[in-house]
Amino acid sequence: MRTTSIIKLSAAVIGTLAAAAAATIFASAVSPKFYADDPVWVQRDTQDASTIEPLEVDLFVDLASNILRGTEVMSPPRAGNVNTVDEVPNSSWFTNRLGLRQLTPEDVATGPNTTPGPASGGWTITSSKSDGVTPGFTVKDSSGQRWFLKFDPPGHRGMATGTEVVVTKLMWALGYNVPENHIAYVREEQLAIGEGAKFTPSGRNPRPLRRGDIENLLQRANREHDGSYRVIASKALSGKPIGRVKFIGTRPDDPNDIVPHQDRRELRAYGIFAAWLNHVDAKAINSLDVLITENGRSYVRHYLLDFGSALGSGGVAPADYWAGSEYLVEPRQVAKQMVGFGFNVPKCRKMPFYEARSIGRLPLHNEDFDPELWKPRVPNQAFLHARLDDKFWAAQKLVALTTDMIRAAVRTGKFDDPAAEDFLVRALAARRDAIGRTYLPAINPISNPSLDVDGTLTFANAAVDNDFARAPRGYRAIWSTFDNTTGATKLVGETSDVVSELCAPVGIPRTKGAFIKVDLSAMSSHRSWAEPVSAYFRRGDGEWKLVGFDRNIGPSF
């Protein structure tokens, strides 16, 4: 009896405390829209991930699953890793480079490289790759640094190696983690067999590597006139490889991986960049997660790699005619073509291509490139989840990449074919512009708003500023006070002008800590521009700081 009373009493006390806490949590559930540190520009991996176990992705399972998942995506939510101003903070996935800081063509040409490449002298092979048509080796250079070597297919000097370097540089500029890739040359006699080096003949068990194996493998590589072999030397990533980036879901054993990958903006936007670069092989196998340990704490860094099947290269041959135009499996299209007796000729089978041994095969005319029609070989869930705001973000990044930067990146491919290099630069510039033309005017393109101390609001129009649309007849701003705790707004006034500079109405709060919300729309023939974007400013010490920016894109986009 006595025991029961104590329990009852305890329950009552704890219940009261829980009720109080619930009230607290309710209050925090109605948490402020903006915190003091908004907008954050770094998303840290706060938890230790040292217990994570290596997990290899099975190529067949990954490809087949992605094919079977289909291509229909219903109402994807807003990207889950954007900050309050609709940007992607730096993280173990992505680093803001273009746009947020001044990059030069030289920066792009350098990319992720921190060394001049493999040290000269003898290279010791530690393992070799025999599957596929082109060979590959893992070597240690004379300084002990580990490199992965891949070759060009016979007759296509520069195609795979040059493409890999160029795309690596461009993806680095766009913000992704990529390995350090160099073009280097190696002679057969420079390669020594390391102790314990293994060779796995196709379909066989590994066995010790022999000299004859090297000779046989090199027969499948393009040979220079002087007898050397041009290679892409990819510096081994620091950290412990623990798996690949899957483009759907999160990794359940990584505590820091909390946003489903298909909802990560940089992975959604990767689809736009892949379209730009014709990188049709954007699959899990072509990525790498590595466990980094710093200051006694471990976290996972996510890399994209293996860009050999991009631009005009198909890796072991020029890109297929259908690369970028069709998925590997398209049941509806197959049914249509079966009964069409081949007379319903797809566009990719009719259009002209630029073909060169050095860069492979790319569509000749890229001015009319339609990124909405571009497809990787196999459906990618992150690409399919991209909404118009994600695509707008990607297009903004892309148009910040100048033609000079593209040229600098292409030069690092060392194709030694000026005509082909020139074509590649023009093609990439044309495809970049086509992407800008498609996505920047597709939604209200107002961006980068700022409010000065005098109450003058300035902003950019990403579509107009990049010459992808005509200037609107004018802009309209609806000004409101904003209660950061409740989210309530109260209309202050409305202003408009023909230029992208608007004055705040009389009556906006001036006290420190006050918030205002400005709904900005444009008067244009583009109907979507009438949908306002919302900019939120917080009053600081005599200045207004942009703390929020919402494109108000519904899930149906």
346 binds another protein, rule: CB under 8 A: yes
Contacts of 54 (CB under 8 A, 6+ apart): 240, 241, 242, 243
Out of 215, 404, 416, 543, point to the residue binding another protein (CB under 8 A): 215
Q: Where are the beta strands (DSSP E) in 130-178?
A: 136-140, 146-151
Report DSSP state, residue 141.
-
Strand, coil or helix: 126 = strand
> Counting every residue, how long is the chain?
557
Residues 123 and 141 sit within 8 Å (Cβ to Cβ): yes
Token couple for 87: 């940007």
Out of 2, 60, 74, 121, point to the residue binding another protein (CB under 8 A): 60
Peptide bond into 555 cis (omega under 30): no
Out of 90, 190, 337, 403, point to the residue binding another protein (CB under 8 A): 337
- Give the residue with the Cβ less far from another protein, 411 or 545: 545
342 binds another protein, rule: CB under 8 A: yes
454 binds another protein, rule: CB under 8 A: no
Find the angle CA(322)-CA(395)-CA(441) to the nearest 5 degrees.
105
Residues 19-38 that bind another protein (CB under 8 A): 21-22, 24-25, 27-28, 31, 35-38
Residues 487-516 that bind another protein (CB under 8 A): none
486 binds another protein, rule: CB under 8 A: no
58 binds another protein, rule: CB under 8 A: yes
Residues 79-118 that bind another protein (CB under 8 A): 83-84
Q: Distance of alpha carbon 16 from its chain centroid, rounded?
A: 49
Contacts of 313 (CB under 8 A, 6+ apart): 156, 159, 160, 163, 319, 359, 360
Out of 256, 278, 438, 521, point to the residue binding another protein (CB under 8 A): 256
Out of 353, 403, 465, 523, point to the residue binding another protein (CB under 8 A): 353
> Least Å distance between CB 497 and another protein?
33
Residues 302 and 177 sit within 8 Å (Cβ to Cβ): yes
Residues 124 and 139 sit within 8 Å (Cβ to Cβ): yes
Instruction: Measure the CA–CA gap between 153 and 83, rounded to whole angstroms.
Output: 44
Contacts of 430 (CB under 8 A, 6+ apart): 366, 367, 369
- φ, ψ of residue 85 to 5 degrees: the values are -105, 25
Out of 4, 102, 238, 295, point to the residue binding another protein (CB under 8 A): 4
> Which amino acid type is present at position 121?
G
Stretch that binds another protein, among 286-294, 343-351, 478-486, 525-533 (CB under 8 A): 343-351
334 binds another protein, rule: CB under 8 A: yes
- Give the residue with the Cβ less far from another protein, 4 or 511: 4
- Give the residue with the Cβ less far from another protein, 161 or 256: 256
Binding mask 220-249 for another protein (x = CB under 8 A): -----------------------------x
HSE-up of 189 (CA within 13 Å, CB side)?
2
Stretch that binds another protein, among 60-68, 278-286, 418-426, 469-477 (CB under 8 A): 60-68
Find the angle CA(142)-CA(147)-CA(149) to the nearest 5 degrees.
115
Find the angle CA(355)-CA(357)-CA(359) to the nearest 5 degrees.
70
Binding mask 259-288 for another protein (x = CB under 8 A): ------------------------------
216 binds another protein, rule: CB under 8 A: yes
Residues 123-142 that bind another protein (CB under 8 A): none
341 binds another protein, rule: CB under 8 A: yes
321 binds another protein, rule: CB under 8 A: yes
Out of 50, 115, 142, 333, point to the residue binding another protein (CB under 8 A): 333
Stretch that binds another protein, among 113-121, 137-145, 290-298, 321-329 (CB under 8 A): 321-329
Q: Where are the beta strands (DSSP E) in 97-158?
A: 123-129, 136-140, 146-151
The string of DSSP codes covering 342-376 is T-S--GGGTS-EEEETTTEEEES--TT--GGG---
Residues 211 and 191 sit within 8 Å (Cβ to Cβ): no
- Give the residue with the Cβ less far from another protein, 47 or 402: 47
295 binds another protein, rule: CB under 8 A: no
465 binds another protein, rule: CB under 8 A: no
- Give the residue with the Cβ less far from another protein, 26 or 511: 26
185 binds another protein, rule: CB under 8 A: no
40 binds another protein, rule: CB under 8 A: yes
How many amino acids of this chain bind another protein (CB under 8 A)?
75
Out of 14, 373, 498, 503, point to the residue binding another protein (CB under 8 A): 14
2 binds another protein, rule: CB under 8 A: no
> Which amino acid type is present at position 402?
T
Strand, coil or helix: 454 = coil
> Least Å distance between CB 377 and another protein?
8
Out of 120, 223, 228, 253, point to the residue binding another protein (CB under 8 A): 253
Sheet with 515-523, edge to edge strand ranges: 489-497, 474-482, 515-523, 533-539, 544-550
